[in-house]
Amino acid sequence: MTRGEMDLLGWDCCDIIIVTGDAYVDHPSFGMAVIGRVLEAQGFRVGIIAQPDFDSAEDFARLGRPKLYFGITAGNMDSMVNRYTSERRLRSDDAYTPDAEGGKRPDRAVIVYSQRCREAFRDVPIVIGGIEASLRRIAHFDYWQEKVRRSVLIDAKADMLLFGNAERAIVELSHRMAGGEAITDITDLRGTAFARRMLPADWTVIDSTHIDAPGRIEVHPDPYLDTTRQNAPQTTQDAATTNAEPGPTVVTLHTRPKGQDRHRTVVRLPAFEAVRDDPVLYAHASRVLHLESNPGNARALVQRHGDRDLWVNPPPIPLRTPELDKVFELPYQRVPHPTYGDARIPAYEMIRFSVNIMRGCFGGCSFCSITEHEGRIIQNRSEHSILREIENIRDHTPGFTGVISDLGGPTANMWRLHCRDPKIESSCRRLSCVYPGICDNLKTDQMPLVQLYRKARALPGIKRVFIASGLRYDIAVETPEYVRELVTHHVGGYLKIAPEHTELGPLSKMMKPGIGTYDRFKEMFDKYSKQAGKEQYLIPYFIAAHPGTTDEDMLNLALWLKANGFRADQVQAFLPSPMAMATAMWHSGRNPLKKITRSSETVYSPKGRRQRRIHKAFLRYHDANNWPLLRETLQAMGRADLIGNGKRHLVPSFQPAGTGGRPEGAGTPLLRSDGKGSFRTQQTHGLKRKSPGPRRRPR
């Protein structure tokens, strides 16, 4: 991190310098630490510039000129999600900063950091990655500006974008550049995106509108078209047949021709200018992107931005278990850099005694970013590697008291779950393995995980092993013994799960199971808690103002909460994160979970400050400050019968003195009932995070 440390190591320069928006914590839950250690293990000299002063280029030059490239990441979170609430209010703190100090990273950090690196060393290549880059790799809707923005690769003027967990790509890229290959010539790495002027001549191009036709579109000029001999074409089909030679073959059929080489085929998405101006085309592009996300059958994508094409290679092949073990067994110090002294870094404190056992999520929730970043195929660590890490924490991590705070990942209970047939898995195009029901080909036996839990808690010096990652309860109920083990030994009084809603309308847009599955899990939870002689509680999370949610849906949810004795301490309104399918619903008013056409299903999204306040107020029906708004809303809905002072009423007719002002609400509701008429609340912020990492959303 400093020139002094470089001198102690005898380095005259760094091969690679990583610039990050997070404080430098050398722990495998922090992306920059993982990439740094992976590159170090390959023999590269890696410098890290953490949370630089972004007002000038001076801080970006403190380690000198890197020999190969700058690697830039906003950190474990998208910088906009990190800095702003779902109501676009500025947050006062930052969990990834010493003493939680806010304002240490800029808005759109990847773009700002790239600009400063260019100012410091104009000719040094720039490689961007991390969750901010992953979720902005194509033209995307930006909630904070209420518009469609270009790919972050174009805006940052970077040379290459790496998406997903990029260990394999970053290692190959670094070795090839060290061998003298120019970054502009490296175009065949999976999990990468870059800009190019011309498409390769030996590739077949399929127009995405012929895969999932959205209806007539306005054609933008083709930069590869020879206009010296004929007029510009008027339709996409005409443009496809008049490409200049040499150039790529353009397929205009409505189905993929048999015998076509998928590895030499690229799907052309509507141009940035088209999706910017046409919300239906935006929803179409979002759907095609997600359908082309299986590493086993995904094709490359190309999307025009002005006079250049953004080329997105297929997603990376998931790491095999021995490869993932090596990543997590690198010599992490598991502590913040000594530069920070005694300062608290809340994100580190949350995960320093946790162990990540897997990556990926096949749930496919439309509002979540995990699948888009890490993929649907679960990447598993071996049992031996996990147990060795627990022992390493026990023996070497300062402050350890014998309690492992979490044994999980993006979800707690997907370890070793996979498709029964690799051939089916490699050809599948489903958006979720568990919606609308659990796929018959999904292996759901969680007994290997039960055995892991038992071995972990039996290790000498380990007092407790908690499961803090979110639980996929619709899978948990498939193995009752897993629920028994979890409830008996790994719950610290309460367990967080996420039904998200009770009504089928919003649930169908979230791709979440019905509330009946929650009831089935709760029955098991209560049964095994009683058998263990423990008083334990489920804490369900819910989202307000998600696309597809009506006022009636929120009223029914409020009535369910009241009937079940729950009171939300805080509420989370839906935040349209870049590239999520729910964000495409929010922006376009269409449902990309189904085929997009001009007449396809429309989706209502509750927008506007007042509408979002109403939906949040229903979740906090018990807050007297919400009662005036709820009375007004109930009367407008024709449900004045729910206003009164009896048990069957939702809100009382009286107003306590000193209440009725504008309610505050941010974060996700944590609900807890002791079943005896009194209520306990637990506070949380419910932020979406890159996983592995702290503050994980329950699945």
Q: What is the pLDDT of residue 202?
A: 87
**pLDDT, mean of residues 512-521:** 95
Q: Measured between alpha carbons, how far is 306 from 140 in angstroms, rounded to an integer? A: 15
Q: How far is CA 649 from CA 37, 82, 631, 641, 687, in A?
A: 59, 39, 11, 7, 33
Helix (H/G/I), strand (E/B), else coil: 553: helix
pLDDT classification of 639: cutoffs 50, 70, 90: very high
Strand, helix or coil at 378? coil
Compute the distance between CA of residue 402 and CA of residue 520 in angstroms, rounded to an integer. 33
Question: Is residue 13 scored above 60 in pLDDT?
Answer: yes
Query: Which pLDDT score, from 0 to 100, does residue 674 have?
Result: 33
Are 197 and 308 a contacting pair, CB within 8 Å? yes
Helix pair angle (609-619, 627-636), 10° resolution: 100
Beta-carbon contacts of 505 under 8 Å, excluding residues fewer than 6 positions away, are 548, 549, 550, 553
Specify whether the CB–CB gap between 567 and 525 falls below 8 A: no
Q: Using only C-alpha atoms, what is the Rg of the chain? A: 26
Residue 18 in 3-state DSSP? strand
| Contact between residue 132 and residue 74 where contact means Cβ atoms under 8 Å apart | yes
Burial status of residue 487 (CB atoms within 10 A of its CB: 0-12, 13-18, 19 or more):
buried
Alpha carbon distance 74, 128 (integer Å): 9
Q: Which residues of 499-528 are buried (b: 16+ CB within 10 A; e: fewer)?
A: bbbbbebbbbbbbbbbbebbeebbebbeeb
By mean pLDDT, which of 69-78, 312-321, 369-378 is the weakest?
369-378
Most confident stretch, 452-461, 493-502, 651-660: 452-461
How large is the average pLDDT for residues 377-403?
97
Between CA 593 and CA 177 the distance in angstroms is 40
Separation CA 544–CA 506 (nearest Å):
10
Place of tokens 């058998």: 531
Which of 351-360, 464-473, 655-664 has the least mean pLDDT? Answer: 655-664
Position of tokens 């009937």? 563
Number of H helices, E strands in the chain: 24, 22
User: In one letter, which amino acid is 432?
Assistant: S
Can you name the CATH fold of 1-197+307-319?
A: Rossmann fold (3.40.50)
Q: What is the pLDDT of residue 685?
A: 31
Residue 460's contacts (CB-CB under 8 Å, 6 or more residues apart) are: none
- Answer left, alpha or beta for residue 346, where phi above 0 means left and psi between -120 and 50 means alpha: alpha
Q: Which of 31, 14, 13, 35 is nearest to 23 (CA)?
A: 31
Asked whether 24 and 32 are in contact (CB, 8 A), the reply is yes
Q: Could you tell me which CATH number the domain at 353-540+576-605 has?
A: 3.80.30
> What pLDDT is recorded for position 248?
62
Q: Across the chain, what does the average pLDDT equal?
A: 89
The pTM of this model reads 0.89
**Both tokens of residue 392?**
């390493």
**Location of each CATH 3.40.50.280 domain in the chain:** 1-197+307-319
Q: What percent of the chain has pLDDT over 90?
A: 82
Task: Evaluate whether 13 touches 65 at the Cβ level (below 8 Å).
Answer: yes
Tell whether the model's pLDDT for residue 244 goes beyond 60. Answer: no
> Where does CATH 3.80.30 sit in the chain?
353-540+576-605
In the chain, pLDDT over 70 holds for what percent of residues?
88
Q: Which value, to the nearest 10 degrees, does the dihedral of the CA atoms of residues 445, 448, 450, 451 take?
A: 150
With contact defined as beta carbons under 8 Å apart, do 6 and 47 qualify?
A: yes
Quick count: other Cβ atoms within 10 Å of Cβ 350? 18
pLDDT at residue 122, rounded to an integer: 96
Q: What is the model's pLDDT at position 263?
A: 83
Whether residue 44 contacts residue 16, with contact meaning beta carbons closer than 8 Å, is answered with yes
Pairing relationship of beta strands 537-544 and 494-500 according to DSSP bridges: parallel
Do the Cβ atoms of 74 and 134 come closer than 8 Å?
no
Quote the CA–CA distance of 611 and 352 in Å, as a whole number.
40
Tokens of 72: 């830039």
Confidence bin at 682 (pLDDT 50/70/90): very low
